[in-house]
């Protein structure tokens, strides 16, 4: 895990976004890479505002960064206002019930505690309806708290030219102007790249910080994660034999096979395997790309090394699944998924080593 690359990626986005503030999304254990190491590296790089999904994530982050601004994206569960207040956390309020509960808590305790207001501009997942947002805009100064952020989330910003993206920006701009002097935030990683009109006062990049593709066709920033596993056996098999569970792939030639210590319990998806109908993911062995052969099992996968020189691969050698030109999105595409899922699925059995930062 290259903390220096994560910090550089944040600095690149911060410079691009100025004068808007560049926050950092570190939910899901910093996209699977380890929030205990990633968040302090981002703080040292200059990030001061962070977003997580859950209250427990926010508590862990508060222990790491006592002075950070921390927003909880999944909102305010019933009877948790006191817990959020005690930890200095800012809930993202996406319903009238949440807003009422936070407002009442602030009034009852004689304190004005910051929180964000989330408006649904077309994703239909979380947030106030447009009608509720417009109604609130006329009375929000009478709340028991002062909103610190008005925000929404883009549904299709990673797809160039999608009609919903422009419509969401227009709707959000109309809503945000109804809350004067409250900073606005619409842009995720992809939205940050779409231009000044999408950035408002604060951007919330996630996947682009971690070396993934944010918009189809736009190259990622510096790669962050490298994934290496060990070869535990080298063997041969004759043509016509099958490899792995379900006999999903039959060998068309006499083959040399390297079985490596990685499986779906480690985040190498079962769909990443090969069959007679389709080739699966690749890994690099002895400087060459080699395809998986057969299905991925819980703890093991098998690579076809027939095209490598005899003796080029031995037990204990290293196979690279991420790095040396294989990006997180390359691995994802071969697995039928997205880079986000690859990173957040990296298993607990890996020995993690951090460099830079």
Residues with a known catalytic role: 27, 245
Task: Give whole-number Cα distances, 198 to 73, 172, 211, in Å.
Answer: 19, 9, 21
Burial 64-92 (b: 16+ CB within 10 A, else e): bbeebbbbbbbbbeeebbeebbeeebbbb
d(CA 354, CA 37): 8
Tell me the C-alpha distance between 76 and 54, whole Å: 9
The 3-state DSSP class for residue 301 equals strand
Backbone angles phi, psi at 164, to 5 degrees: -65, -30
Q: 289: which strand partners?
A: 284
**Which residue in the block uniquely carries the two structure tokens 């302090």?**
40
Whole-number Å distance between alpha carbons of 136 and 323? 49
Q: Choose among 26, 28, 24, 35: nearest CA to 1.
A: 35
């Amino acid at each position: 895990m290259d903390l220096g690359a994560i910090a550089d990626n944040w600095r690149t986005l911060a410079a691009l976004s100025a004068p808007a503030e560049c926050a950092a999304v570190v939910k899901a254990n910093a996209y699977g890479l380890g929030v205990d190491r990633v968040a302090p590296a981002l703080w040292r790089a200059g990030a001061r505002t962070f977003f997580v999904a859950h209250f427990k994530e926010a508590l862990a982050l508060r222990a790491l960064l006592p002075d950070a601004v921390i927003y909880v994206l999944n909102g305010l569960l019933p009877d948790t206002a006191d817990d959020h207040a005690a930890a200095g956390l800012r809930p993202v309020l996406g319903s009238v019930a949440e807003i009422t509960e936070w407002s009442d808590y602030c009034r009852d305790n004689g304190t004005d505690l910051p929180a964000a207001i989330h408006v649904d501009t077309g994703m239909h997942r979380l947030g106030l309806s447009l009608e509720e947002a417009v109604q609130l805009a006329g009375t929000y100064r009478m709340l028991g708290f002062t909103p610190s952020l008005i925000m929404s989330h883009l549904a299709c910003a990673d797809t160039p030219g999608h009609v919903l993206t422009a419509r969401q920006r227009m709707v959000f701009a109309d809503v945000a102007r109804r809350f004067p002097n409250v900073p606005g935030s619409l842009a995720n990683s992809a939205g940050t790249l779409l231009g000044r009109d999408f950035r408002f006062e604060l951007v919330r990049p996630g996947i682009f910080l971690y070396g993934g593709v944010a918009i189809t066709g736009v190259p990622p920033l510096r790669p962050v994660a490298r994934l290496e596993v060990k070869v535990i056996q080298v063997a041969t098999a004759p043509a016509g034999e099958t490899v792995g569970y379900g006999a999903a792939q039959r060998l068309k030639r006499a083959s040399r096979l390297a079985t490596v210590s990685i499986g779906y319990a480690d985040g190498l998806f079962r769909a990443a395997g090969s069959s007679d109908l389709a080739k699966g993911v690749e890994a690099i062995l002895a400087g060459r790309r080699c395809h998986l052969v057969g299905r991925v099992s819980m703890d093991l996968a098998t690579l076809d090394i027939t095209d490598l020189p005899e003796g080029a691969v031995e037990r204990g050698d290293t196979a690279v699944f991420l790095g040396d030109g294989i990006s997180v999105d390359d691995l994802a595409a071969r697995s039928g998924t997205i880079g986000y899922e690859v990173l957040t699925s990296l298993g607990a059995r890996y020995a993690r080593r951090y460099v830079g930062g």
